[in-house]
Amino acid sequence: MKVLQVIPTLNPGAGGPVEGAIQQSQQLTEMGHAIDTLSLDPPGAKFDARLSPQSVVLLGPAQLNYGFSRHLEPWLRAHIRLYEIIVVHGLW
């Protein structure tokens, strides 16, 4: 199964959602699923080495307090059919 995780930031200082995404990615990968992680961090941002750089998409920098990115919707429209499941982390 091909899974896309969407998260506002992969910065470890952001706490729980980041660690949840990493743990979920590891577990699903071990089960044989392909996982990509999309973040609103700016290109070149550092992230936890437990995530494969080939599977991370950085679309930021995010703007405003809610993490708006004008790149998110076009990217999703172009790639959404590649995924069977989309998991949104950190949505409260």
Q: What tens-digit pLDDT sequence spans the chain (92 residues)?
A: 999 999 999 988 877 889 999 999 999 999 999 999 999 999 999 888 888 888 999 998 988 877 788 999 999 999 999 999 999 987 66
Tokens, residue 57: 């998409």
Token code pair at residue 42: 């700016």
pLDDT of residue 56: 95
pTM attached to this predicted model = 0.89
C-beta atoms surrounding 25 within 10 Å: 23
Other beta carbons within 10 angstroms of residue 71's beta carbon come to 14
Q: H helices within the chain, ranges in order?
A: 16-30, 72-79
Neighbours of 45 (CB within 10 A): 15
